[in-house]
Amino acid sequence: MEITNFPAVDREIKKWGLRSESLIQILHGTQESIGYLPEEILSYIAEKLNISLSKIYGVVTFYNFFKLTKDAEHVITTCLGTACYVKGGEKILNALCNKLNIKPNEITKDNKFTVKTVRCVGCCGFAPVMIIDGKDIYGKLSENEAIEILERYMIP
């Protein structure tokens, strides 16, 4: 049974070839185009490459850069590596989650924010650190400063 056509996947298959060895490249390129990898896309790739869906899920869940769900409009990443943790990283995380009324990795009801944690962002000299949308880096934060920065992103 043929599943609905997905042009973004077809472009990647054309680029990398209809081979199981191309799976990671196809998944990566598809995610770049769509933003995440929903089940329908994974089923389509499984059918096209003649790979079991469970094997594809195994790959997608093994690598942390693949996303099965759509991200919020703003993704806040808080570092909980040793330097950040010692200097209050967990307090920053808790303050942000409390302000947004979510738990880590949840998305606010309006789909505007999510707060994720990582073990290290490589900015130990600026601990504690948070990154917003993968590009705006803020360091040497207090809980109040983190909330003030968050509030700038809350303005419509």
Residue ranges of the annotated binding site for [2Fe-2S] cluster are 79, 84, 120, 124
Where is 115: in which H helix or E strand?
strand 113-118
Q: Which residues are annotated as a binding site?
A: 79, 84, 120, 124
- DSSP letters spanning 31-89: HHHHSS--HHHHHHHHHHHT--HHHHHHHHHHSTT--SSPPPSEEEEEE-SHHHHHTTH
Q: Rounded to an integer, what distance in angstroms lies between the CA atom of residue 113 and that of residue 100?
A: 8
Q: Rounded to an integer, what distance in angstroms lies between the CA atom of residue 20 and that of residue 7?
A: 19
Contact by Cβ (8 Å): 148, 130: no
Three-class SS state of 104: coil
Phi and psi torsions of 74, nearest 5°:
-125, 120
Contact by Cβ (8 Å): 31, 67: yes
